Amino acid sequence: MATATVPVPDSEVPVEEWTIAVLGDRGVGKTFLARAFVFDSFLDMLPWQDESPPFTKELLVDNRNCRIVIPDDYDSASELDTAAPATQWLSPVQGILLIYSIDSRESFEHIRAIHAWAQRHASSARTTAVFVLAGNKADRGDPQRGARVVSKDEGAALAKELQMECFLETSAKTAQNVFRVFPIVVRAARAKKAEIEETERRKRESKRRCVVM
């Protein structure tokens, strides 16, 4: 199994903080994926880290110091509606990683509802979170095992339909794309933030140029 080396941030340089929520059905591997990323601990390796979220990890993303915060996760949109106030939970979130399992058609079909829930409550929380879709348990996609029920093309098509930033398949067992997916969310959130700041700057410039006669 190949693993990736995550760049270590410079402690003397300011740190960007990004909060990334991980959402999906129970059993799709949300916590396993987060642990694999935070602790470099994979199901094919020992010792296995058994901590539960919230998690925090510092690393370099495009040569910029970043602290990624992964809050407590929930199992479905319906459970979220009965948990802590959604707007409060989502208010600090800048990126949302939606996860299904490639061996579970049901978890894939639930993505639309979870995405709609997250969009609705993110709007109420006045946050502009970006979305990335991940098909987890990619290690089960080997044709010899015959466990895959959701194709890569279906995952990519759903991400496009829901206008998400990116789609990729991941595995907490083999480390496939584990060190790519969270930085991808950071880059998308960073670009969104820059876009919003530029829009606000132009509005301020426009107001300054306005002359009342």
As a three-state string, the secondary structure of 89-102 is: HHCCCCEEEEEEEC
Rounded distance between C-alpha atoms, residue 133 and residue 159, angstroms: 6
Mean pLDDT over residues 30-43, rounded?
86
Listed range (23-27, 32-36, 85-89, 149-153) with the worst mean pLDDT: 85-89
Domains and CATH numbers, the chain: 16-209 (3.40.50.300)
- Cβ contact 53:20 at 8 Å: no
| pTM above threshold 0.85 | no
Q: What is the dihedral of CA 123, 23, 135, 112, to 10 degrees?
A: -50
pLDDT of 9 over the 90 cut: no
* Cβ-proximal residues to 21 (8 Å cutoff; 6+ apart), any chain: 70, 71, 73, 89, 90, 93, 95, 96, 97, 118, 129
pLDDT of 83 over the 60 cut: no
Give me the residue label for tokens 């690393």.
Answer: 59
Mean pLDDT over residues 81-103, rounded?
80
Mean pLDDT over residues 60-77, rounded?
83
